[in-house]
Structure 1
Amino acid sequence: MAEVAGGTLSLRWIVLTWVTIYIMTTEAVDRSNFKTCEQSAFCKRQRNVKPENSPYRALLNSLEVTEKSIKLQLINEVNKVPLLLEVYGLQGNMTRIKINELNPLKPRYEVQDVLVQDPPTVPLTVMGKDEGSVELGFGNGLYKLIITSRPFRMDIMTGNELLLSINSRGLMVFEHLRKRKDSYTEKFSSTVGSMWSKIKNVFISEEKKEENVQSEEMKEATKAGEEETAQGDQPEGKDSQKESEEKEDEAGMWEETFKTHTDSKPSGPSSVGLDFSLPGFEHVYGIPEHADNLKLKTTDGGDPYRLYNLDVFQYEIFNPMALYGAIPVMLAHNVRRTLGIFWLNAAETWVDISSNTAGKTLFGKMLDYMQGANEIPQTDVRWISESGIIDVFVLLGPSPFDVFRQYTSLTGTQALPPLFAIAYHQCRWNYNDEEDVRNVDAGFDEHDIPYDVIWLDIEHTDGKRYFTWDSNKFPNPKDMLQNLDSKKRKMVSIVDPHIKIDSGYRIHNAIQSRNFYIKTKDGSDYEGWCWPGSAGYPDFTNPEMRSWWASMFAYDQYEGSMDNLYTWNDMNEPSVFNGPEVTMHKDAVHFGGWEHRDVHNLYAFYVQMATADGQIQRSGGTERPFVLARGFFAGSQRYGAVWTGDNSAEWDHLKVSLPMCLSLGLAGVSFCGADVGGFFKHPSPELLVRWYQAGAYQPFFRAHAHLDTPRREPWLFGEENKQLIRTVIRERYTLLPFWYTFFYRAYRTGEPVMRPMWVEFPGDVDTFSLDEQYMLGNALLIRPVTEQDARGVQVYMPGKGQFWYDVRSHQRYTGPQMLYVPVTISTIPVYQRGGTIVPRKERVRRSSSCMQSDPYTLYVALNAQNAADGDLFVDDGHTFNFEKRREYIHRKFTFANNSLTSRSADPNGHYNTAAWIERVLVLGARRPSSVVIKLSDGSESSLDFEHNAETSVLTIRKPAVNVGADWTLYIR
């Protein structure tokens, strides 16, 4: 036994530490630590149910139409368990479908706090009904929803076009809550009770039958089921479900063992599953987080995609395994329409994808066409969750931007980050002490490389006690922070949600005394093992716990903190080193008596929520927060940024970071990035340079590295590589006005900042599977070099007659075309789209805040019609005043008829700034005879200009107008 601060280091902890170190330093993830579908009892049960012959029937005579919804009962004709179906028409071309038990033994969990409001409804009208189906209309008659009784099925149509079918393959499974029947007496008693219930029904009066149509319908369903059984023609699908019902002690139904961990299930099997068919769709996207391609693959030959927040060390790529976050939203796209499915369930979830065109080559599809085959492409998706209810939103588009608006109207838009947060961040595990921080900070100044934030990992604390500082290494944190503040720079410190169990640690004592820890199934405080050793896990599902946690960020509570200290929530899946699958036991108990299995994927969401609230509260509600989190769920975009976790210094990890962030953007989370250079291993200088070049064009731009890697500050790889890295970081800073404007648009509309090519070119099938290039906003096409020793890359330029301008040479290309671009180590293929205007600030200083009043340059890229437009958002860059006091400028720039006009895009905003327009570059312009600027007061003046005939670039110097002013440039 060895003595340590705060307690005794047990042999068990020593062993666990070595095991952890071994896991952290292995070459690849140990898959055996994580379940496959076959090893997950509920996933296996559900997947064993085969298509067709669904046992569910809709009792159409139970139909109830209310002002907000329609309700009717479903009956499982095998086990006779009644369910309640609720259908809501929602404003904005959406519908919500909920299925729950009609009379559960106890309430089933329904996700809280993710929806920003109770979604506004629109009336559903009954348009037709017969004995086999009912037709409902919504969306001002644009859509109809047809519910078929037997087997239960739902179809959503617009006109004569079928958009989506639900349970058309008969894969719906709703495992009802039940008492365990583990003795002959219980089974006998149950049988007698059932017989007595049937005898009583015989004597129900005719009058009562008429008053209770729902009971009559249920009896009819019972009778029909009994007749089918007696006749021996029970459908195959019903047989499989009946067998499942009868095997009460089947492995995994009441308890389940994985490796050394046994999961007790006091409520027994409780999983839910439902299938969706998407005729006409071959491409589906979303359900992050997975280290996989942008276009989701079919899963027929392997595991489904898994959504279960897990701490996966050095994860594999191109794999459907679960990772740190889980957002259960999927988009389907074809040339005519985009649809979305949002499966609101926080339990462990698996998603199966199949397609009738999977595996067909292009030649095979052409052959089908030539032979007159009329098979419509179709993708089928099956959602399976361990517990909770079926609560699904169908987002009907029809455009990609409609789907973004619809989804974020439910879960919220991306929070507008403070300006510094979208600049460059420098991090490693760990900067050793205050002197190390001072030297790294000075190194950026010495080498003239801008940066905004330096980060501290877990070693800065007193023995992994969060909200503290190591008094030997960081004795004067305020002095350190003040030094950074003098240069307008910030710091981020890590605050993880596992709390060292130590009677001398005030945070632990406060949580324990308030009874805020998660409990075991036996009622004691849940303890796991993480970085501090034995740790408790605060119950962030408890609103009082979240409120208390937020209060700990107050300056008088978090000693040594200042207003330029922000927060990193790592390990919030939650990570439990000695837990099943390196996370928490599912039978742990949360606030309200809910099991961890019900809320697992919400835990990280609540941690980030509470931390962001704490940063807001410490400033009296004035300052915008910055919180980075590793785990996340639907709605996490409201609270900050995420990153792609513990990647590796490998080319494939660089490459996969693109579709990982693109997928997150489609699911509402625009503020995403990957550790530049890779967290594990040591990158070659070429890989590091290429990663900086890619990272500079991703929303969250942070270099980070493992404790065991050599130092990676940008100046440590030789002069040539330093200059390459310096150049691309400076490019990031010149584009900060553009980034900030598109983050504002994401905040207002839900549109992603970093977006797949197909979002901007939805009718071009050649964009549908592109992973290696993407758009920033609607203006910049980015094609990072992600291949080792690359001499050239392919760039696809879409759009018939669309102009694309190389941002460095200004050479113009016309789409659609596949362009081979020769590259050197200094090349980053970036193209501005014709018809757009991009604002930049070209005086780069040591940090973004130092550039606040600096002038702007506008890059006007003309399209084939000699037109372009763009916008610019300006505020103070850090407070909520843009919301509370309308202190902002939102400008609209329009180029048409050889004139460039600046007008307010939002007259409600007002903000005083010294920033002005320094230059205007017009790409694709002819040489004018003169350039005149006319101000709003009617005054005019001539401007100096220069025209490059070789590149067709017109440079107009010093319009010298305030960025908030109205003006017009006339190019004559």
Structure 2
Amino acid sequence: MFRKPDNLKFFLNVGGKDLVEDLKNYDKIVRRQDKRFAPRKRTNLPWQSPGMVKQVIPYERGVRFACDSGWVELQWIAVDCVRVRLRVQDAAFAAPFSYAVSKVDWPVVPFEIIDSEDAVEVFSASLTCRVDKHSFRLGFERRVDRRLVCADMGGIQWRDDGAVRLSLGLKAGETSYGMGERAAGLNLRGKRLTLWNTDNPKYERYSDPLYYNVPLYLGVHNDIVHAIFWDNSSRGVVDIGAARPDELIFESEWGELRYYLFAAQDVNTVLARYTELTGRIKLPPLWALGYQQSRFSYYPQKSVLELAVTLRHRGIPCDVIYLDMHYMDNFQTFTWNRERFPDLRRMVADLHAGGFKVMAVLTPGIKADPEYRVYKSGVAHDVFVKYPDGTPVEGVAWPGVCHFPDFTNPTTRAWWGDQCHRILELGVDGLSNSMSEPALLTPFDPTTLPDYGRHNQDGLGGDHLENHNVYGMLMGQSSSEALERHR
């Protein structure tokens, strides 16, 4: 039975009766689709390990190990960076696909191998990897003085349901940083954190998860700094000494076990190599680093202009004013409300004359309305995330029942850019992506698309479980490319 919480009053005030009815009915949609498509989860499956090394296979860029229960590849990306991959079913180490990795062409790194009865040691100019042949545990050392960088505890592991896991040791006194947006202090030692981008509007200190995660662990111990980039976008967790004070665990529910280890004497060198791999931000315009005025929401047009006059009159520094969803017609993306904003183009020009830049909010949910131009275009171009039966996934956002663009599809990214042109031609200076976790509304807390929603994944095909954490990044890429294309 539907329970009416206080949230419904808020939704009623903002979105009206139709939104409230959609929220009430959405639970029925979820139960029906879960019954059809949600897989049964297997429980109590044991973690497995590669086991004993049976064969050592050097190749141009590294070494592959055939083990009792799988194959592991070590590839030198640079003298101070190693990529580790696991294959369970076969040894077909094709070039990996990752939305997070920008640079894929690296020079060949010279390395040496010493293969003894109990261990294999692989050396680059600055880093040594020691592989225990009996347990397949890895240990990384600085070559110059053989000091330990990090070493496996439980090591590489997987389960028959597709989950993968990495267990490393934590040194006493090692400080732990990274992991994206977190409601905690900088040192994350002792924390267990979720790898799942989540709209959490009521978060407090130590709330978890939040809006975006970055699965990069940065460990600092005296003059030895190392990082682990867990290149798996599925839902997961990272345990930084919470279960055991001396153990670091990365765990994901699905996908290839693939991680990069970086090591150097200082943080800057490690991060420079990491950003060489994953890409570096373009230099933003100076105004984007200035004072920004944003709330939910400034409207109508007269109020926005009055705000600008008040800021200047009172000498309050402000470089940017945001237009949140109330500038839209019924919260529908790529529209504007002509009653609230009768001359949006003129308003933007007036704000420019006053020294302001203007940002317009975009949300991914496209209202499932056959009369809505953007929706009709999306259907015609086949751009939406789908259920396994090929029909578009439904979810409730501010306009009501919506379908959601599949930004893992190159066609969708180009289509989104074409839609952005309709907003950019009004003269706005930038686009602010919102609810791109992606977030769906419910009468209780925000949720997201179902794990079994199907994505194009640049032609590879995949579920939302493994594409959720890249959804906002790819929406951002699509909007950024639109700015470059239409400016």
1:133 corresponds in structure 2 to 119
- Cα–Cα, structure 1 residues 575 and 609, in superposed 2: closer, same or farther, change >3 Å? same
Alignment pair present for 1:338 and 2:225: yes
- Cα–Cα, structure 1 residues 107 and 471, in superposed 2: closer, same or farther, change >3 Å? farther
Alignment pair present for 1:293 and 2:302: no
Q: How does 1:853-872 map to 2 (within 5 A)?
A: none
Q: Secondary structure at the match of 1:613?
A: helix
Tell me the TM-score normalized by structure 2: 0.86
The alpha-carbon deviation at position 113 of structure 1 amounts to: 3.0
- Cα–Cα, structure 1 residues 107 and 583, in superposed 2: closer, same or farther, change >3 Å? farther
- Cα–Cα, structure 1 residues 523 and 612, in superposed 2: closer, same or farther, change >3 Å? same
Tell me how far apart the structure 2 counterparts of residues 455 and 524 of structure 1 sit (CA, whole Å): 35
Alignment pair present for 1:56 and 2:50: yes
- Cα–Cα, structure 1 residues 15 and 447, in superposed 2: closer, same or farther, change >3 Å? same
2:252 corresponds in structure 1 to 385
Q: Secondary structure at the match of 2:251?
A: strand
The alpha-carbon deviation at position 75 of structure 1 amounts to: 2.6
2:439 corresponds in structure 1 to 575
Tell me how far apart the structure 2 counterparts of residues 393 and 114 of structure 1 sit (CA, whole Å): 12
- Cα–Cα, structure 1 residues 581 and 280, in superposed 2: closer, same or farther, change >3 Å? same
Structure number with the bigger relative contact order (C-alpha 8 A, sep ≥ 6) is 2
2:477 corresponds in structure 1 to 609
Query: Is the Cα contact below 8 Å between 2:26 and 2:395 reproduced in 1?
Result: no
2:426 corresponds in structure 1 to 561
Q: In the alignment, which of 22, 29, 32 is matched to residue 13 of structure 1?
A: 22
Alignment pair present for 1:348 and 2:235: yes
1:411 corresponds in structure 2 to 278
Q: How does 1:718-737 map to 2 (within 5 A)?
A: none
Query: Is the Cα contact below 8 Å between 1:503 and 1:509 reproduced in 2?
Result: yes
The alpha-carbon deviation at position 519 of structure 1 amounts to: 0.4
Amino acid at match of 2:53: L
The alpha-carbon deviation at position 92 of structure 1 amounts to: 5.0
Task: Provide Cα deviations, 1:170-191, integer angstroms capped at 9, x if missing partner.
Answer: 2532234xxxxxxxxxxxxxxx
The alpha-carbon deviation at position 125 of structure 1 amounts to: 3.4
Task: Provide Cα deviations, 1:627-646, integer angstroms capped at 9, x if missing partner.
Answer: xxxxxxxxxxxxxxxxxxxx
The alpha-carbon deviation at position 289 of structure 1 amounts to: 2.3
Task: Provide Cα deviations, 1:58-110, integer angstroms capped at 9, x if missing partner.
Answer: 4342x22121221122333xxxxxx2211111225111111122439x99995
Task: Provide Cα deviations, 1:350-394, integer angstroms capped at 9, x if missing partner.
Answer: 011228995xxxxxxxxxxxxxxxxxxxx4201100111111111
Structure 2 unaligned residues grouped into runs of 5+: 1-16, 28-39
The alignment covers a number of residue pairs equal to 453
Tell me how far apart the structure 2 counterparts of residues 332 and 14 of structure 1 sit (CA, whole Å): 44
Over the matched positions of the two proteins, sequence identity in percent amounts to 23
Tell me how far apart the structure 2 counterparts of residues 418 and 153 of structure 1 sit (CA, whole Å): 47
Task: Provide Cα deviations, 1:947-968, integer angstroms capped at 9, x if missing partner.
Answer: xxxxxxxxxxxxxxxxxxxxxx
2:106 corresponds in structure 1 to 120
- Cα–Cα, structure 1 residues 112 and 282, in superposed 2: closer, same or farther, change >3 Å? closer
- Cα–Cα, structure 1 residues 288 and 473, in superposed 2: closer, same or farther, change >3 Å? same
Greater radius of gyration (CA): 1
Query: Is the Cα contact below 8 Å between 1:111 and 1:344 reproduced in 2?
Result: no
Amino acid at match of 2:128: K
Q: In the alignment, which of 494, 511, 520 is matched to residue 361 of structure 2?
A: 494
The alpha-carbon deviation at position 41 of structure 1 amounts to: 6.7
Task: Provide Cα deviations, 1:689-735, integer angstroms capped at 9, x if missing partner.
Answer: xxxxxxxxxxxxxxxxxxxxxxxxxxxxxxxxxxxxxxxxxxxxxxx
Tell me how far apart the structure 1 counterparts of residues 289 and 390 of structure 2 sit (CA, whole Å): 44
- Cα–Cα, structure 1 residues 392 and 45, in superposed 2: closer, same or farther, change >3 Å? farther
Task: Provide Cα deviations, 1:821-862, integer angstroms capped at 9, x if missing partner.
Answer: xxxxxxxxxxxxxxxxxxxxxxxxxxxxxxxxxxxxxxxxxx
Q: Secondary structure at the match of 1:609?
A: helix
Query: Is the Cα contact below 8 Å between 2:385 and 2:406 reproduced in 1?
Result: yes
Tell me how far apart the structure 1 counterparts of residues 436 and 96 of structure 2 sit (CA, whole Å): 21
Query: Is the Cα contact below 8 Å between 2:408 and 2:471 reproduced in 1?
Result: yes
Task: Provide Cα deviations, 1:877-922, integer angstroms capped at 9, x if missing partner.
Answer: xxxxxxxxxxxxxxxxxxxxxxxxxxxxxxxxxxxxxxxxxxxxxx
Query: Is the Cα contact below 8 Å between 1:588 and 1:595 reproduced in 2?
Result: yes
The alpha-carbon deviation at position 599 of structure 1 amounts to: 1.3
Tell me how far apart the structure 1 counterparts of residues 242 and 318 of structure 2 sit (CA, whole Å): 47
Amino acid at match of 1:103: D
Q: In the alignment, which of 74, 80, 84 is matched to residue 87 of structure 1?
A: 74
Q: How does 1:264-303 map to 2 (within 5 A)?
A: 269-279=161-171, 281-299=173-191
Task: Provide Cα deviations, 1:136-191, integer angstroms capped at 9, x if missing partner.
Answer: 111x2x3211111221111111233121112xx32532234xxxxxxxxxxxxxxx
Query: Is the Cα contact below 8 Å between 1:281 and 1:332 reproduced in 2?
Result: no
Q: How does 1:173-322 map to 2 (within 5 A)?
A: 173-176=157-160, 269-279=161-171, 281-299=173-191, 304-319=192-207, 321-322=208-209
Query: Is the Cα contact below 8 Å between 1:69 and 1:124 reproduced in 2?
Result: no
Tell me how far apart the structure 1 counterparts of residues 202 and 221 of structure 2 sit (CA, whole Å): 35
- Cα–Cα, structure 1 residues 445 and 132, in superposed 2: closer, same or farther, change >3 Å? same
Task: Provide Cα deviations, 1:108-148, integer angstroms capped at 9, x if missing partner.
Answer: 9955332111151543534311232211111x2x3211111
Tell me how far apart the structure 1 counterparts of residues 202 and 287 of structure 2 sit (CA, whole Å): 29
- Cα–Cα, structure 1 residues 357 and 107, in superposed 2: closer, same or farther, change >3 Å? closer
Q: Secondary structure at the match of 1:293?
A: coil
Q: In the alignment, which of 343, 346, 349 is matched to residue 479 of structure 1?
A: 346
2:379 corresponds in structure 1 to 512
Alignment pair present for 1:172 and 2:156: yes
- Cα–Cα, structure 1 residues 580 and 71, in superposed 2: closer, same or farther, change >3 Å? farther
Q: In the alignment, which of 269, 274, 280 is matched to residue 402 of structure 1?
A: 269
1:778 corresponds in structure 2 to none
The alpha-carbon deviation at position 521 of structure 1 amounts to: 1.8
Amino acid at match of 1:15: K
1:150 corresponds in structure 2 to 134
Task: Provide Cα deviations, 1:32-78, integer angstroms capped at 9, x if missing partner.
Answer: xxxxxxxx978x858x86xxxx75324342x22121221122333xx
1:245 corresponds in structure 2 to none
Q: Secondary structure at the match of 2:261?
A: strand
The alpha-carbon deviation at position 560 of structure 1 amounts to: 5.7
Amino acid at match of 2:213: A
2:13 corresponds in structure 1 to none
Task: Provide Cα deviations, 1:632-678, integer angstroms capped at 9, x if missing partner.
Answer: xxxxxxxxxxxxxxxxxxxxxxxxxxxxxxxxxxxxxxxxxxxxxxx
Tell me how far apart the structure 2 counterparts of residues 431 and 160 of structure 1 sit (CA, whole Å): 60
Query: Is the Cα contact below 8 Å between 1:155 and 1:164 reproduced in 2?
Result: yes
Query: Is the Cα contact below 8 Å between 2:189 and 2:242 reproduced in 1?
Result: no
Tell me how far apart the structure 1 counterparts of residues 203 and 388 of structure 2 sit (CA, whole Å): 31
